[in-house]
Each structure stands twice: as structure tokens, then as C-alpha cells.
Structure 1
Amino acid sequence: MTPKPPGTPGNPEPHRPEGRWSDLERPPLNAAALRRALVRPDGLWTSLDVVEVTGSTNTDLADRARAGQAHQGTILVAEEQSAGRGRLDRHWTVPPRSGLIFSVLFEPNVPVERWGWLPLLAGVATATALSRAAGVDTALKWPNDLLVQVGDEERKAGGILAERAGEGVVIGIGLNVSQRAEELPVPDAGSLALAGAASLDRDPLLRAVLRALERWYADWTAADGDPGASRLQEAYAAGCSTLGRTVRAELPGERELIGEAVAVDGDGRLVLATKDGVQQPVGAGDIVHLRAAG
């Protein structure tokens, strides 16, 4: 007797338990295919692992680097992160398989005083890759936020965190991809889906970002970390939505500085022109956009 197909009378649809991993619109990343595409003997990337859940990819990879168990070119990706950190130890969480959460390890052979450009390099690489692969205009908010346009609002859809680890630097990137409005942690956050991305397939998006990272890192290290010679400083300024705006810099020690963001200097600092006519570089702090550019 020929069996009836599932869902017909006498042979009901088999039960599929619902759970945090059962959303068919959010398939898992294909780790094997990603390795084939990215890990090459002559390339930067040396290994790639995808884990279902972890506390923080940055913490995990930094711990491995300090223990001598990870080296330049290591990539660690998580489908879900339970204790992700942004700047100032802010919490960063997303629903399973709805975003890109990964960390990479660099051991740059350039003067250590130029290592501060690495998170800005990661921002340029990520923004340019997403603009091409997802068809979404992605801007940079100094120093490390990724912004997309949702309606008439500019919203944060991702961020970058750098952490020194042994002889290298771990760069963590978190990006909201398919989150719906009700899944966002705060109302003014964004995602590629809400920005009208042409593609939400995380595999090609991750490949595009990692390939862009490899290209920019190669150019930067070939120039001995010089942001001018590698054109990194120029590219960052071109994509930085902070420049030309009046901003408030919330500085350590509960201080603040208000001025127009006029440049990113050779050390990666944001230069503010204050009402007193002074140009003040800001190397660390939270930046609040007070008005639009122009």
C-alpha cells in the first residue's frame, strides 16, 4: 500500500515542537560552507567556528588568545549570545539566528599606537560590505556604531567592540539582521529588515563583511598602520554621519563637551569645534547627535 503524504486524512502532519530554534525564516549558518569560502592557505582567516549559544564571543576569543589557544585570523561566530557587551559594558542581546554576532582576532605587525584604528577599520569594512551585499545605506557614528535609515529616522543596527588580548586585539561585531520592531531591545534601534534590505541571508552577509575586513586590514598593515596612506582615514570620514553635526560628547568623569564635529584626526579621535573657537580632540566618550549635518 502506498503511504499517504503527511497532512492527509489518516496520516496527520507530524508534530514539530516549537522552540527558540524552530523559526524556519531564520535558518542556521552553514559553518562548513563559510570555512570553504573564507579559510585559505594564503588568506588572513585561519579558522572559523560557529556555536549555537555563548555568553560573549569577545570574552571567549580573548580568553583563548590570552591562553595561546587562538591566533591571528581566528573567527568565532555565535547564533545567540547571552551576555554580549557593547561599549561602556552595555548589554547586547538578539533573538537566536536573527543577527550576526562574531569576533575576530588580529595580531597586527604595525606600531601599537596605531592599533586604535582597528575598530574604525572594522566599521568601514562592515558598512561598505552591507551597503553592497544588503543594499542598505549604512553609516558610521563615531566611534563604533552602525546606523541605518528606518523611515525618516537614523537608527543603530549594530556596534563594534575592541578588546586587547595578549599580543593581539579582538574585534567583536554585532549586527541586527532580521529583527522585527517588537524584538528590538529599545524603540530607537534598527535592523536590516526594518531598513528594507534586499537580502537577509546571513551567510552571504557574513562572507561579505569578513572579505571586506580582510581587504582593509591588508591595506592598512601594508601601509604600516598609517590611516592616511591606506586611505582608511579618508574612507571613515566619508562614511561618518557624525561629521558636520553639533554633538555632545559625554566624557569620563561626568564631564561633557558640546561642539561641531569637524574631523577625525590621525589618531582616530573626533575633533570638536567649540563655541569658544577651540578645536578639541575627543578620544573616548559617548557621542550624542544634537542636530543633523548641514
Structure 2
Amino acid sequence: MACKRPAPDGGDAFLAAASPCCKKPRPLFTSIFNYEYLHKLGAGRYGVVYKARDRRTGETVAVKWVRPRRGLDHGQPANLAAFASERDCLAACRGYPSVVQLRDVASNPSNWDVFIVMEFVGANSLRDFIAGCPFSEVETRALMRRLLAGVRAMHRAGMAHRDIKPGNILVGPGFALKICDFGMATTAPPPYEPYMVGTLHYNSPEQLTESGLNGKYDAKVVDMWAAGCVMAELLTGGRAFTSETAKEHLLELVELRDYDIGSRNSLAFGGLRWLSPAGREVLAGLLAFDGDKRMTAEAALEHRWFTEEADSPAVLSCLAAIAS
């Protein structure tokens, strides 16, 4: 007699086949039919993310369907190399509070669809809170402390994210920050792909050179530049860079270098004259044009801007209220 499974409740990724076959999923995968579709959260270049409920535990989770190599249709072979890379990077970061946590890997046993199941942090990213609304220096410091802790954890685990930006930083209760979307993450040494990766406005100077476009750059150092861009956006409430092409972006970065961010009289990012010398030192260190001189996450968190003053309860309460 044919075996029957409950049909998932909505969501095209969950309805890739009308009648799942009776064969058990691969040992490394659980069944996607363990999860009840709730609604779509968002889509990116490498996948679509859905909010779902684990039928076994009742936990709300985020489920990422990894796009196939060819086209955007379900039932086609997934990009298993990208899937495995993202899964392994998330697995290596288990237990780190500033990185979204892996819950499960699942498949549709009737076709080629594969899924990464993660904790559900919330529907908003840091991008939703930055637009047109700058944070104070003490708020920025508290948020950068959390972000850099996540970057440090990734780097200690031997990986680089390569697409750090506000849209890939989820905001949870209490304004907890969780780095997500490891679709471009890597544990491999250079050289990397011979083309631009990540998001243009967060690409570092070395990524835009001929050597960088051939994949010859330090991916962890690239992450630190992107973290510096996030810091600048927190302080200004707007995008750090606005160029439309790689050539224009590189020109913007050369201009930024000439502005000398570390100087009190710098015109970078509108001047930021109210930023303390210690805060300016961190910003300049993260956005050092020369990658060899750029701050590491470890060094940044050991800087006096972070060590000489803890985040006050008033600041933490204010951030929690903003996130609620």
C-alpha cells in the first residue's frame, strides 16, 4: 500500500511534489515534511527563506531553500557544494550567540530540494533600523561589540563570511545581533572565485583590484572592512557608499583614504566631529585602505573604545526598546 505523508501547509518550496515517495531521506537529512510552512521571510541570490514551525517540537524556525544550480525551479539539482559549505560554516559556529544557530538540514525525499533549518531570530535585519536614523556613539559601540564578537567567533572557527552587511545581520529581542546568510562563507584559503563576490558597497579596496578580482585577497580582512562600513552606517544613518559600479566604488574608497578618517578634522562621512578619538581610531582601523594594516576583530575588541567603558544599563534598555 502506498505510504502517505501530510502535505505541507503552503509555500511553493514545500509543495515541490504532489505525493512524496516512500523512500526514506538520506541519512544526513531529515524530511522537510517535519516542518509546517508559515510564510515567506525573504529571498536572495542563493536561496529563499521561510518562517516555519517544527511539527515535532513546536519551535518556530527559519528554513532556507538552497537554489538549484540551474534556473529557479524546484526539483532540480541543488548547488550541493554551496549547500554543504553553508551548512558546515553554520555548524562550526554552534554555541556562538552572535551567529544564527543551525537547527537541522532537511530534504524533500521526492526530489532534489535541500533546506537549511535555523533558529528564528526575527523578521527584521539591522538594515531596517539604520535607514535615516543614526545611532549615538554609545549605542553604536554596544552594537559593534556584538557584531565584532560574532566576526571574531567566525574567524576563530577558521571561516570568513564575505558578505557582512546590515541586511545579513538579524535583530532579535533586546537588540541581539545575529550574523546570517553564509551563502558566500568560506573556510578555504585564497585564491577564491575569479569574480566579484559579496555586495559592492561593502567590498574592500583589495577586492576591486585586478588581483582581487582574480580571487587573491584575505577573506577575513575583507570581513573587517565590511564591519567598518556597518559601523559608519550606524553612526550616520545612511549608506557608507553610493557608487553604482566597481570602478566608481574604488574611486570612492581612494577618496575616503585621502580624507584620513583618523583625523579629528576629517571630512569622511560628514565629519563625525562628535565621535570620540577612541571611536574614530576604531573606525579608521576597520576602514584602513591597506588590508595589511586593517584591524582584526580581536584587536578591535581589545581597543580602549571597548575596554575602558562597559555598555550601561540605560543604553542596553534603550536598544531593547528600539528593537521591541
TM-score (norm 2): 0.30
Point out the structure with the larger strand share: 1
Point out the structure with the larger helix share: 2
TM-score (norm 1): 0.32
